[in-house]
Structure 1
Amino acid sequence: MLHRLPALVAALWWGSLTTIGFLVVPMLFAHLPSPTVAGNMAARLFAAQTWVAVACCLVLLLVSRPRQAAAQYPWAQAAMVFILGGMLLALLTQFGVAPRIVARQDLRVWHGVGTVMYALQWCCALAVLWQTLRHDPQTPTGGGSAGA
């Protein structure tokens, strides 16, 4: 079971991004009484999503290589740039873009930037999930494909 942890964590990251961004937030704007109320709740959900993403990325980094080994697992070698990129995108969105949206500073521009960054983070999480499912996590070096 432990060898499947990277795939489970990547699935949690990608699934939470998918659920919040493509299901829950649109439903807030469709069903809450005003865009302001929906926007405030969406901001809270996106903040929580940031910490889910950071926690998942940290776990993925911690399990990226076997104990006492210099080489990373094959999935980690292929996914490292996406793990780091996704975590950076999450943090930049939360601390760089979200405050500008909340302050309604050039709302259209910053909302667009935030949407693009969220979509890029979603792509990073999907790439990590794909890599964790593609490689056999028990093989610390080269090959070991478990099928695509």
Structure 2
Amino acid sequence: MTTTIARLQRLILTLWVGAMWAVGYLVVPVLFSALNNPVLAGSLAGELFANVAWLGLVCGAALLVLQHARGHALPLPRVTVICILAMLVLTAVGQFVIDPIIAGIKAEAGPAGAMASALKDRFAMWHGIASVLYLCQSLLGAFAVWRAAVPGADTPARSAA
């Protein structure tokens, strides 16, 4: 049963991190390069990032529930669980703190977009903060996937006596 839970956890973690990478580093750059309308590209990117955030919150919660369900027989290494917790916190801050601030700036700026308004600097600052948080999540996710791929990576090697 522990092996099944461990595999399910790795699958869920890979789904979450893969979605982050695909959207953040493949899809969104293509949107901005392919569309001649940066406001539309930004709007679509915002929707994609929101979807990835909700996916992350669900996946992160599921990973922790599965981890807790096993008690002391922990399928994921401790460092991976710490990465997952950090990713969850960053996702929640992005989704529930930073995204509403950015949405408020966009609403205040009007249809021309925040980058074409007097709010450009404020928007750029919050967008930059959101980008750094996303990069941190991506790096934590890469490390978590790397560590989760090796069963027992957190346990010290036992010497044969």
Taking structure 2 as the reference length, the TM-score comes to: 0.77
What are the within-5 Å matches in structure 2 for residues 79-94 of structure 1? Answer: 79-94=80-95
What are the within-5 Å matches in structure 2 for residues 95-110 of structure 1? Answer: 95-102=96-103, 103-104=105-106, 106-110=122-126
- Residue 57 of structure 1 and its aligned partner are, at CA, apart by 0.6
- Residue 107 of structure 1 and its aligned partner are, at CA, apart by 1.1
Q: Runs of 5+ in structure 1 lacking a partner?
A: none
Distance in structure 2 (CA, Å) of the matches to 1:72 and 1:59: 17
Given that residues 65 and 76 in structure 1 are in contact (C-alpha distance below 8 angstroms), is that contact kept between their aligned partners in structure 2? no
Distance in structure 2 (CA, Å) of the matches to 1:57 and 1:125: 11
- Residue 127 of structure 1 and its aligned partner are, at CA, apart by 2.0
Distance in structure 2 (CA, Å) of the matches to 1:143 and 1:122: 27
Distance in structure 2 (CA, Å) of the matches to 1:76 and 1:9: 15
**Which residue is 1:115 aligned to?**
131
Given that residues 75 and 134 in structure 1 are in contact (C-alpha distance below 8 angstroms), is that contact kept between their aligned partners in structure 2? no
1:128 is the counterpart of 2:129 = no
Distance in structure 2 (CA, Å) of the matches to 1:45 and 1:13: 13
Cα deviation, 1:18-41, whole Å, max 9, x if unaligned, reads 000001011111112311001111
Distance in structure 2 (CA, Å) of the matches to 1:142 and 1:123: 23
- Residue 50 of structure 1 and its aligned partner are, at CA, apart by 0.4
Cα deviation, 1:25-64, whole Å, max 9, x if unaligned, reads 1111111231100111111111000011111111110111
Q: Runs of 5+ in structure 2 lacking a partner?
A: 107-118
Distance in structure 2 (CA, Å) of the matches to 1:50 and 1:66: 24
Please provide the CA RMSD for this pair: 2.2
Taking structure 1 as the reference length, the TM-score comes to: 0.83
1:30 is the counterpart of 2:33 = yes
Q: 2:96 is aligned with what amino acid?
A: F
Q: Do the aligned partners of residues 109 and 97 (structure 1) sit closer, same or farther apart at CA in structure 2, a change above 3 Å counting?
A: same
Cα deviation, 1:53-95, whole Å, max 9, x if unaligned, reads 111111110111554x4x1515242222211110111111112
Distance in structure 1 (CA, Å) of the matches to 2:96 and 2:141: 20
Percent identity between matched residues is: 29
Distance in structure 2 (CA, Å) of the matches to 1:66 and 1:93: 28
What is the aligned residue count? 139
Q: 1:36 is aligned with what amino acid?
A: V
For the residue of structure 2 that corresponds to 1:63, the secondary structure is helix
